[in-house]
């Protein structure tokens, strides 16, 4: 065999292993989707066994020594730096494939099986303990287990290695190739801007009327409205579904099987509709991956932040825009004539966009949401570096809440215990939410320049041009380019908080009159 055909054979074998890994991944996704939608309650323990078996089979494949050997034989260097080096001979899709496979192999093979198993065990316990602590609103019922989890997370970080900050390899799990120093820089400037903006909003003296959001909204009608919106936004029902679950999510069960969920509250309609539009953004991204990379490890979001940019842009920039409701509000009024009789479009638009500091992240508005994330990011870094002790966490949380939002949580349940992430060992995840907002605003700026008639089209319920733009510029590339590189390709520069700040300033300046 010539050198070249040996290379081709090695590459082919790596693709086969990856293909099997992804078929198993989709199988696990089906088990997970079913668990959260239709599974009878008594099946929960056996489902955990099924998921654990399939995850084990996935782990066997992704840590298979053959991957390391073949990558080495192909000249891919991946055991030093988080960014693998792929020889110049490989170009295009193959180059990206080898880069991502090496990254994934490096991460999975550097963490000992013992640590993976222990983390799985301790976070399973952690989730239960956290849920009970939150119920009783008592952080110190959770702090012991959190310390155990944090130690394991630190061990993961040191197994993976870092030059600058132990938070880096954790962040890299969710936001590949981005360092915490970069995030810190962007977030610092964002924080200044947001604080100023929030002061202006408070200073405007205007209170937005949101009372009508809490009237009666029949759930069956909410669902039918959500389906109409999805149809109009271009969600393909022959390649996807909408279902109900306790926590909304999007999951790919295959390249042509992307399922989203939402939840319903008959006394607060924004939950379901904005949840649906948010997940639709995630779903359209997954459905828009280029057919040539389907079923491979490149058919994933470039990063969690990039994924979130697609849901946030759809939910906030489009779904909470005036233009969107020029089109959809008449239908909403037709469905809920009693509850919306006295609500004109402008009042409706202001109501769904009202800004007010609050305790709970997932209920926050577009402006204060990011302050919740900044708080978590700063605390996480300190927890990981050891500068903040677990026992001092509630105090640090409350102090930061006061500083950033001017509020002190009345209890731990509405403070430090509100989110599930830490109980699952997912440190490094939170910043991706705000990265999503930042990417979204920066992309949206270019979209508006490329499609100046966007708002007129949205007013007419025409989303084809917008979707085509997203597909061409962002969706089809999936994980072929790292998120940062994609950002530069689409917008001509790296991530810049100015776009989000300008967008918010303009939108809320109009609403609050400044």
Interacting residue ranges for a second copy, rule: CB under 8 A: 20, 23-24, 26-27, 30-31, 34, 38-43, 45-47, 49-50, 53-54, 57, 236-241, 243, 253-257, 295
Continuous H helices in 234-386? 270-287, 304-312, 322-335, 337-340, 345-351, 369-385
- Contact status, residue 503 vs residue 441, Cβ threshold 8 Å: yes
In the complex with a second copy, which residue's Cβ is closer, 255 or 393? Answer: 255
User: CB of residue 24 vs a second copy: minimum separation in angstroms?
Assistant: 7
Whole-Å CA distances, 120 to 32, 52, 111 = 16, 10, 13
In the complex with a second copy, which residue's Cβ is closer, 19 or 347? Answer: 19
- Contact status, residue 467 vs residue 284, Cβ threshold 8 Å: yes
C-alpha radius of gyration, the chain, whole number:
23
User: CB of residue 238 vs a second copy: minimum separation in angstroms?
Assistant: 5
Whole-Å CA distances, 246 to 37, 219, 249, 262 = 8, 15, 9, 8
CB atoms within 10 A of CB 248: 21
Residues 6+ apart with CB under 8 A from 462: none
In the complex with a second copy, which residue's Cβ is closer, 20 or 453? Answer: 20
Show which residues are catalytic.
279
Matching residue, tokens 């919306």: 340
User: CB of residue 248 vs a second copy: minimum separation in angstroms?
Assistant: 17
Cα distance between residue 237 and residue 93, in whole Å: 29
**In 3D, which of 180, 115, 184, 185 has the Cα closest to residue 148?**
115
Question: Which is it for the CA torsion 412, 175, 84, 4, positive or negative?
Answer: positive
In the complex with a second copy, which residue's Cβ is closer, 30 or 77? Answer: 30
Q: What is the DSSP letter of 139?
A: G
Take residue 390 and report the two structure tokens written for it: 């677990």
User: CB of residue 504 vs a second copy: minimum separation in angstroms?
Assistant: 37
User: CB of residue 242 vs a second copy: minimum separation in angstroms?
Assistant: 11
In the complex with a second copy, which residue's Cβ is closer, 20 or 209? Answer: 20
In the complex with a second copy, which residue's Cβ is closer, 290 or 350? Answer: 290
CB atoms within 10 A of CB 55: 16
Question: Which is it for the CA torsion 336, 342, 346, 349, positive or negative?
Answer: negative
Cα distance between residue 434 and residue 127, in whole Å: 24
Question: Which is it for the CA torsion 431, 434, 436, 439, positive or negative?
Answer: negative
Residues 6+ apart with CB under 8 A from 199: none
- Contact status, residue 229 vs residue 273, Cβ threshold 8 Å: yes
In the complex with a second copy, which residue's Cβ is closer, 253 or 401? Answer: 253
In the complex with a second copy, which residue's Cβ is closer, 85 or 256? Answer: 256
User: CB of residue 45 vs a second copy: minimum separation in angstroms?
Assistant: 8
User: CB of residue 20 vs a second copy: minimum separation in angstroms?
Assistant: 6
User: CB of residue 263 vs a second copy: minimum separation in angstroms?
Assistant: 18
3-state DSSP call for residue 308?
helix
Angle (CA) 397 403 405, round 5°: 90
In the complex with a second copy, which residue's Cβ is closer, 280 or 318? Answer: 280
- Contact status, residue 312 vs residue 436, Cβ threshold 8 Å: yes
**In 3D, which of 487, 179, 493, 173 has the Cα closest to residue 306?**
487
- Contact status, residue 299 vs residue 293, Cβ threshold 8 Å: yes
User: CB of residue 287 vs a second copy: minimum separation in angstroms?
Assistant: 10
């Amino acid at each position: 065999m010539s050198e070249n055909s040996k290379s081709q054979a090695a590459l082919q074998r790596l693709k086969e292993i990856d293909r099997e890994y992804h078929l198993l991944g989709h199988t696990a996704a089906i088990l997970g989707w079913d668990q959260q939608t239709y599974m009878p309650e008594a099946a929960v323990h056996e489902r955990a066994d099924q998921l654990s078996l399939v995850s084990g089979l996935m782990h066997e494949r992704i840590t298979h020594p053959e991957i390391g050997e073949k990558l080495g034989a192909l000249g891919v260097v991946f055991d030093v730096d988080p960014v693998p080096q792929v020889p110049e001979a490989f170009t295009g899709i193959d180059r990206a494939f080898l880069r991502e496979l090496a990254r994934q192999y490096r991460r999975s093979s550097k963490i000992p099986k013992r640590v993976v198993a222990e983390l799985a065990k301790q976070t399973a316990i952690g989730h239960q303990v956290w849920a009970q602590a939150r119920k009783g609103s008592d952080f110190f019922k959770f702090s012991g287990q959190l310390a155990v989890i944090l130690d394991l997370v630190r061990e993961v970080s040191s197994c993976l290695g870092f030059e600058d900050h132990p938070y880096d390899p954790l962040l890299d799990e969710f936001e590949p190739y981005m360092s915490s120093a970069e995030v810190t820089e962007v977030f610092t400037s964002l924080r200044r801007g947001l604080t100023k903006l929030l002061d202006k909003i408070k200073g405007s003296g205007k209170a937005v009327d949101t009372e009508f959001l809490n009237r009666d909204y029949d759930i069956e009608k909410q669902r039918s409205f959500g389906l109409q919106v999805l149809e109009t936004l271009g969600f393909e029902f022959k390649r996807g579904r909408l279902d109900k679950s306790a926590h909304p999510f999007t999951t790919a069960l295959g390249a042509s099987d992307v399922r989203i969920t939402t939840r319903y509250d008959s006394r607060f309609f924004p939950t379901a509709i904005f949840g649906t539009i948010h997940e639709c953004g995630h779903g359209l991204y997954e459905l828009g991956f280029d057919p040539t990379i389907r079923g491979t490890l490149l058919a994933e979001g470039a990063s969690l932040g990039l994924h979130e940019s697609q849901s946030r842009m759809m939910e906030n920039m489009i779904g909470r825009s005036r233009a969107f409701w020029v089109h959809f509000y008449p239908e909403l009024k037709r469905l809920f004539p009693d509850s919306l009789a006295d609500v004109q479009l402008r009042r409706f638009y202001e109501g769904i966009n009202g800004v007010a500091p609050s305790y709970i992240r997932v209920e926050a508005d577009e402006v204060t949401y990011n302050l919740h994330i900044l708080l978590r990011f700063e605390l996480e870094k300190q927890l990981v570096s050891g500068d903040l002790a677990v026992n001092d966490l509630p105090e640090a949380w409350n102090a930061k809440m006061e500083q950033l939002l001017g509020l002190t949580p009345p209890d731990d349940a509405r403070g430090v215990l509100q989110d599930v992430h830490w109980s699952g060992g997912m440190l490094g995840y939170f910043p991706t939410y705000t990265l999503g907002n930042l990417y979204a605003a920066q992309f949206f700026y270019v979209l508006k320049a490329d499609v100046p008639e966007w708002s007129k089209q949205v007013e007419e319920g025409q989303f084809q041009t917008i979707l085509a733009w997203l597909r061409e510029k962002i969706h089809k590339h999936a994980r072929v380019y790292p998120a940062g590189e994609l950002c530069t390709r689409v917008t001509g520069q790296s991530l810049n908080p100015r776009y989000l700040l300008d967008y918010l300033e303009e939108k809320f300046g109009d609403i609050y009159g400044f």
